[in-house]
Structure 1
Amino acid sequence: MAAEIGVLSTLLGLPDGLVDRIAYLLPPGDRCNLAATCTALRAAGRRWFRGAVVRIWSGGSRLADLAGWLEGRQALIAYHLMGSAGIPADLAAAPAGQLVAIRRWTLHQWAAPAVLARLTALTELQLCHQTQLGSGSSLEQILQPLAQLRDLSITTCQLAAIPAALSGCTQLTHLSLSDNLLAGGWQHLQPLLQLRHLSLSGTDHLPASLPQLPQLTHLDLERCGNVPAFCNHLSALRLLQCVDLTHCDLTEVPAAVSALTALTALYLGHNQLAGGFDYLLPLTRLQGLWLHANDLTQVPPAVAILTALRNLSLGNPQDGWQHLRPLAQLQYLDRAPESHFPVASEAAANLHPAVVQRMLAEPKSGLPCLLDLLAQRGLPCPV
């Protein structure tokens, strides 16, 4: 019974002696049931946490206090570094086999090679604002022991080029190199045949074309330079499901987009799009389309063909709202600002009836708020 009492004491946060006294006040049958329940709970607890990833923040719960308990249940640890005061002592002492993720490494104190070399179970690593990595020379020392790495983020680190060390990270499925210079070294991506998600946002020096990345499904080029020229080569990435071309100085929808028939999400907001919308016509699987902040004067007629759309962002076109009526799957439509209520009214009036009913039941769809604002200004309710 003593072991079971210990389990119950831990669960309730009570002293062993107090729980012991309570237990022995119970009738013998209830006492046996309590013992059996505690034993079953302890055994089940080991199964519940096996393989689970527990998030721990530096400055909060001490890793050393939890590591032993988690290790006994075969749980894993994702460690979030907060602030820039220095490397927490418990990170250096963390069980190497349990720590699988380090997120938001923004520490000013740079001792990453020494700390990371022993953490060979890491599958995720985020390094941010580490300007000493600019030359890429330290990365090989960091990455070489991390053979299980699947998700790597090296952002705002002043990388002059794609580091050669990346070519050894052949298990990567997610890679973010956002907000770096990246003026060369693109050949080092060639061995990353498992890569599915690639973020190059904020890069001014896109190559003429990317290496062959046969598994790539998500590509983020937000705020990149040279995108119009680079887009000529997008058509080779036939498995792409999501492409972000926000803030890319585009004046028309890139022609290469028409070859990406697997696309389900396309971000084209904050450009100066004046044409090329017919290149969207082959994208019959598209479920999300973002065209806001393009000063569109009318809803592009091509939108009417995209009947799989669930999310649509258009901004404030004045005309063409009738092209929304075939979109029976629509779940979200960005609403016009308050200064455009006649336009908003027409937009709502042209929604498919099934869409109206669905949106009215979902506050986040934008429609209930739109109708409330129309009513406040005495404008006719279209539905």
Structure 2
Amino acid sequence: MGGFDKERLARIKGWMQGYVDARKYPGCAALIAQGGKEVFYHECGLRDVEGEVLWSRDTVARIYSMTKPVTSVAMMTLVERGLVHLDAPVSEFIPGFANARCLVPGAVTLDQVEPCAPPTLHQLLTHTSGLTYSFNPGAVPATMAEGKLDFGPGQRTLAEAADAIATLPLVFRPGARWEYSVGIDIIGRVVEVISGKSFEDYLVDEILGPLGMDETRFAVPEGARDRFACLYTPLAGDSFDLNAVTKSAETLRQADDSVESPYLTTKMHSGGGGLVGTIDDYMKFVDMLRAGGKGILSPHTLNFMMRNHLPGEIASMGPQSFAEQPMEGMGFGLGGAVVLEPGRARVPGSVGDFSWGGMASTFFWVDRQHDLSVIFFTQLSPSSSYPSRSQLKALVQGALR
């Protein structure tokens, strides 16, 4: 472990400030640890542009899909205890999936279906289940959008949303393709069924509490509301509309505020995208992945999670969907992407890097070759707006000795 060139590491500050000065991001923070010890932290900009409130280290942010690795760890705690196995069909836990059906190839309407096997828990965890997201192309995503079935914050419960998803056809036969989906939300519901606890209670008991992640929850904690960031978008319409061509005249148009946000009162425990929290809280989780479990999971189970679980790279499985990572040179483990070949991914990094991001442009990765844990926080949706993730990886790799 050779450490960092401090002058090169300091380049990250100017890069972050550039995003803020160009009004691409409202504010942002980056935190880097090596061997479990902090080597870099910087913040700049605002968490509330209209109120001119500075971004601070204790800012509470929406981490969206960076919830997925947490949910995947929760599932693996049950697997380690022999309470479930990954090849179990989801219909064992959510009966609505028992008579599963999938769209026939080329289908354009929801009635063009054929019977199929229910997806397994492993397929749900790896986005090979046949489920999808409302922002992907096709008839099922359009129906999900109409019914607001992306497990977003609100008064619908996890059980209610999972049962609703079970009534829709799968977009392909389980195992046939890779498509970014609500599969890990369904995993959250499975955790509830097996444990007999609400999903948040299970996370608090088994992961968030033991790691001291006391400000990471599905609803903004009461004592943290004055530190909750606003969400911004460069789009004129829905900040989750990945196919939007209409940009706003204002690059930082507010999409969700900190005073009336649904995250203040939500009942939804979205395992795919619902957690909010601080950068230091999330570092406790990321460093647990780097360090081999810290009692949450066995290091052998974590090694298993951070392997590629696909037949090849994501791109080889015919994806037609958005994803939080490149698809070439990348595999997918349980809850996150795995670098198979940095050259094909076209982003400097190490083979085996494990990472994922969230729709508000947050990002993390673990590089066990260099003993690194890296997190980037901001609040701009969609995350496909700017290439900040590949740029940050290049900056960090360029600073390693």
TM class, shorter-length = under 0.3
Q: TM-score, normalised by structure 2?
A: 0.22
Larger radius of gyration: 1
Greater relative CO, 1 or 2 (CA 8 Å, sep 6+): 2
